[in-house]
Amino acid sequence: MKTLFSLSVVAALFATSAAADPGKLGDQSKPLKVFILAGQSNMQGYGIIDAGKDEDLVHAAKKDFKYLKDEAGNWVERKDVWYFERDGNRVSNLKVGYGANARRFGPKIGPELAFGHVVGQHFNEQVLLIKCAWGGQAIAGPWRSPSAGPNPDPEFPVEYTGNRYREMLEIVKDVTSNLKKYYPQYKGQGFEIAGFFWHQGWNDATKPAFTAEYESNLIHFVADVRKDLGVKSLPFIVATSGMGGKGTNVVQPQLRAASKIDNCYAIDTVRFRGARVNKQISHWYNNATSYCKIGHNSALAMISAMKGETPSAEVVGNVKPE
């Protein structure tokens, strides 16, 4: 195993480690480590790469996240971390630009970037990230899992609820059943579904009825994911909806739910709010540093959970459920 670092020393994360070479494949004599990244638009990622401001990724890479660039100043592409996202046909090594599809301000990044760098550096095995994220999707509606029961809101009829949950399962099954098809360098060494990373909540926070049942829905969601993926105690990390505005309404339900679930930990993200790039709140003001902090700390928490350890307060934050 490689060394575990905290956010306070993130600037030295890869500069001091010779254990991993992102330019080479990971050890394929051991099962592939598969991580599922799921949620809505904030998991898709709206961090701007180059806006000519301190809040973009270019500046983040000069400060806390120097590991994102190599010595020549180029963005690092990790061959030891594969990335899959059906939307946009993104089947590749992990690299910059895999946030939400660019319409304004050019390509973007999400939590996947720092998350993938940290787990890639920690594990000698080849890593695969599968992102299943769609904008505007409530856990009370499209993400609703089977044991939560029918959605009481007439806006989401029974035949519609759960479609994103079902699609996520279908995507994971398809990818893991066809690894050689998607990644020809895969050696047939098998795979392990190693962890689930959840960043979602804005849409549930905009309706009082959805907010009221969020805690229950998340508890059902974790149980159903573990059952349907066949991993009884699958490590589960929840990055709270802490960017501000109405989204913050579900932070306490997220913290309470995580505190009641074995091997599930919530990352307090309120402390990761950064300066504004623009007036938008729901996507972390398009602040790439915020997205990197979310992904980085969620990866550290994931690594601890996989080892059967409780993540440190420095990693998850000091906010407790009320």
Residue 279 to residue 77: CA distance in whole angstroms: 31
Neighbours of 184 (CB within 10 A): 7
> What are residue 78's DSSP bridge partners?
94
* Residue ranges covered by each domain of the chain: 7-316
Q: What order of strands is seen across the sheet that includes strand 32-39?
A: 90-94, 78-85, 127-133, 32-39, 191-199, 236-239, 264-267
All residues at 6 or more sequence positions from 173 whose CB lies less than 8 Å from its CB, including other chains: none
Query: Secondary structure of 174-237 in the HEC alphabet?
Result: HHHHCHHHHCCCCCCCCEEEEEEEEECCCCHHHCHHHHHCHHHHHHHHHHHHHHHHCCCCCCEE
All residues at 6 or more sequence positions from 93 whose CB lies less than 8 Å from its CB, including other chains: 77, 78, 79, 81, 82, 83
pTM above 0.85, yes or no: yes
> Residue 14: what pLDDT?
52
User: Phi and psi (nearest 5°) for 229?
Assistant: -90, -10
What's the pLDDT tens digit per position in 282-316?
Answer: 899 999 999 999 999 999 999 999 999 999 999 99
**Which superfamily does CATH assign the domain made up of 7-316 to?**
SGNH hydrolase (3.40.50.1110)
What's the pLDDT tens digit per position in 62-112?
Answer: 999 999 999 999 999 999 999 999 988 999 999 999 999 766 667 899 999
CA dihedral for 131, 139, 134, 158, sign (positive or negative): positive
Low-confidence ranges of the chain (pLDDT < 70): 1-19, 102-105, 156-161
